Structure 1
């Protein structure tokens, strides 16, 4: 493996980011951060267990620069081609780019560079079960399909269980539930129970609720001549009963998005840490007070900071009559990265990637600088 001989080389976004429409100042600012590591390898053989985040971290000082060095536009970021075990990531030092190739066996020369083909484009296959994920999939799977956050507008019109089979206090799999509310053509629903309110750390307003996922119901008979529908419990994670609410089962979201900076400046705060703890570390999930209406999408990467404290400057010269006291705010302190993997209107879930200090409720999460 060669040593990296062009330490400090800046990558110019105008040349690498195909189709991007960023302003020149924004391009220059982003390019100045997208540097290859001094110890970047010449190549990396993709193996099972790799993630896009880990692979990009081998080559780049900032893993979120992945789209830049691939020359990807926004459409390719949201719907990328996939990388598979057995392929080779090449570092094209002359062009300052990463390229993807396939390893070819010829005359038994599996490890001979002459038997490897380089391709300037990403593999054009659709998503397969063996594709390399963006981040560790097992950590976030429950958060992709279960209603763990319910925003206020969803609570207002949600169908609800008004009675149970034989007036049982709780029902389980195979039991009947009687539901009142608009189904809007849906037949399969998740059952949830609203939990603790989620308050915006800045405005102090309640913008959603945690939701306890209870299981699923399937429509057996739609209301005829009334407004009460008959459902059967299809699965039960927890006991469910009268008063619990329903939400149509959403389509399973894609789990593999390219890490990238948000399309616009985002300044958010950590609202809650999953599990009710006060501090979070790497591979833990937090919710923040910004969502799709604020410019976030799946795969966006934010930098995490401890908000700077406001302190008294005891060294400042005294004012008139010596009565004034100056207060100053200390700079925010960077502590890690947050990968956004599920986005609601005003709230998002993020997975903490690298972290140098415990993340707390109220910490800052904003666009990479």
Structure 2
């Protein structure tokens, strides 16, 4: 099915950077009208009046650019400004043209205007004919598109989306107390998509402890399957900040668990435990008895507004995501030792600092030990936070990122 919609011919490119909306785990979901903070509005308004200094432009900022499929808002911001996270300034460069601050589409034309040491970004060329005028001529046009929104995303969706559904950081007891797979049909050891298995939420006989898996109305029916809660330690203090569980796949509850009262061989009535029945509906890895079930969280639409933290931040890389991966490169994910309780928020951009090497000065007869200066190595953006840990995407990098590398404010 398709729809035809009328649009003004000059929707603001810069304003689109305000929304930076990405539909987490909901492909094709339409962009929403997310609120604008007072600070963001104030910054944009100020820049709208004066533009930005030419010194703040990227060295190779183009005079004009046509938005293409596959572009991201982060990349376009970085194309025009030295610091891509300074999105309110790019938005403010064209504040007058704001119509919908959350949409930018392939095919839109962007023009960079420079005058008196300042720069502004427009979606139409400045007129060179006739006297200046405040009158803006607009004409409607139609856009023919599928119902799935074709507005470009903040970052490549395929990079972040798996981590929104396939990662879980928990405390020491949460995963251990979660419902677990206890058996499979026909004595199978390993489970994959299409297999039936059995699970329990209770521990012990009778009522036991824990929460039983129930198929009653309002109870969760969809679950993610996890294994092996790996401790994540602070590189400096070695304190365990959380446990990262490995995602295996998804399961669906068919029947809840129960306890029946049956007559034993001695004629006495005794409880008989009947586990819940589950079907494996998708599998990234094979599953087995002992793997844990976590209820599928409600779908949510997350926004990513790249920006520098408003307070000083100093942290370290705790883990590089992925099996047998020692160094992270661009578009890979790392865990840092700062979380929501430390002031981290989705969209915070941090600079990655590479520790200078320690070596012997061979040019010195005294063979003096020296340490080379620390160097800025790239940028990362926080996209998911926990209490004391956050997942972050490496946006740009000069050299690989490793455990122990420091992260600080990007300014």
* 2:233 pairs with 1:199: yes
Residue aligned with 1:162, SS: strand
SS of alignment partner, residue 56 of structure 2: coil
Is 1:187 aligned to 2:187, yes or no? no
Decide which structure has the larger Cα Rg and report it: 2
* 1:1-369 aligned within 5 A: 17-19=40-42, 35-71=56-92, 81-91=102-112, 93=114, 101=123, 129-147=149-167, 149-152=169-172, 154-172=174-192, 173-180=194-201, 181-182=210-211, 185-225=219-259, 228-254=275-301, 257-275=304-322, 276-308=324-356, 331-369=373-411
- In the superposition, the TM-score normalised over structure 1's length comes to 0.71
User: Offset at 1:210?
Assistant: 3.4
Structure 2 CA distance, aligned partners of 1:314 and 1:150? Answer: 49
Q: Distance between the aligned counterparts of 1:32 and 1:302, measured in 2?
A: 23
SS in 1 for 2:89: helix
Q: After TM superposition, give the deviation of residue 146 of structure 1 in Å.
A: 0.9
Task: Kindly indicate whether structure 1 or structure 2 has the higher relative contact order, using CA contacts under 8 Å at least 6 residues apart.
Answer: 2
Partners of 1:167 and 1:141 in 2: CA distance: 35
Give the distance between the partners of 2:198 and 2:42, measured in 1 at CA: 52
Give 1:188 deviation, angstroms.
0.7
Q: How far apart are 1:288 and its partner, in Å?
A: 1.3
Alignment deviations for residues 16-47 of structure 1 (CA, whole Å, 9 cap, x no partner) = 84247xxxxxxxxxx99991224423432211
Partner Cα distance (1:133, 1:283) in 2: 15
| Aligned-CA RMSD value | 4.0
Deviates more, 1:274-283 or 1:162-171: 162-171
The CA distance in 2 between the partners of 1:33 and 1:365, in whole Å, is 28
- 1:60 positional shift: 0.5
Task: Tell me how far 1:280 sits from its aligned partner.
Answer: 2.3
CA distance in structure 2 between the partners assigned to 1:346 and 1:37 by the alignment: 35
- Distance 1:281-1:158 versus aligned 2 partners, 3 A rule: same
Deviations 1:342-366, CA, capped at 9 Å, x for gaps: 3233222222222122222100112
Q: C-alpha displacement at 1:203, in angstroms?
A: 1.8
Q: What CA deviation, in whole Å up to 9, does each residue of 1:173-211 have, x standing for no partner?
A: 241222214369322110011153221112212223333
SS of structure 2 residue aligned to 1:279: coil
Partners of 2:138 and 2:64 lie apart in 1 by: 12
Q: Is the 2:336–2:391 contact (alpha carbons within 8 Å) kept by the matching residues of 1?
A: yes
What SS does the corresponding residue of 1:64 show, helix, strand or coil?
coil
2:199, 2:164 → 1: CA distance?
27
* TM-score, scaled relative to structure 2: 0.64
- Map Cα deviations across residues 290-323 of structure 1 (whole Å, 9 max, x no partner): 22222222222110001346779999xxxxxxxx
Note the residue ranges of structure 1 that are not aligned, 5 or more in a row.
1-14, 21-30, 73-78, 104-114, 119-126, 316-325
Cα displacement (A) at 1:270: 1.0
CA distance in 2 between counterparts of 1:253 and 1:98 reads 35
Give, in whole Å, the separation in 1 of the partners of 2:174 and 2:137: 53
Give me the whole-angstrom Cα distance separating, in 2, the residues matched to 1:313 and 1:153: 50
Q: Which moved more, 1:359-368 or 1:343-352?
A: 343-352
Aligned equivalents of 1:151, 1:32: Cα separation in 2: 48
How far, CA to CA, are the matches of 1:91 and 1:299 in structure 2?
26
CA contact (8 A) 2:200 2:257 kept: no
What is the CA distance between 1:145 and its match in structure 2? 1.3
Structure 1 stretch displaced more, 304-313 or 265-274: 304-313
- The alignment of Structure 1 onto Structure 2 pairs a total of residues equal to 314
Q: Distance in 1 between matches of 2:115 and 2:40?
A: 17
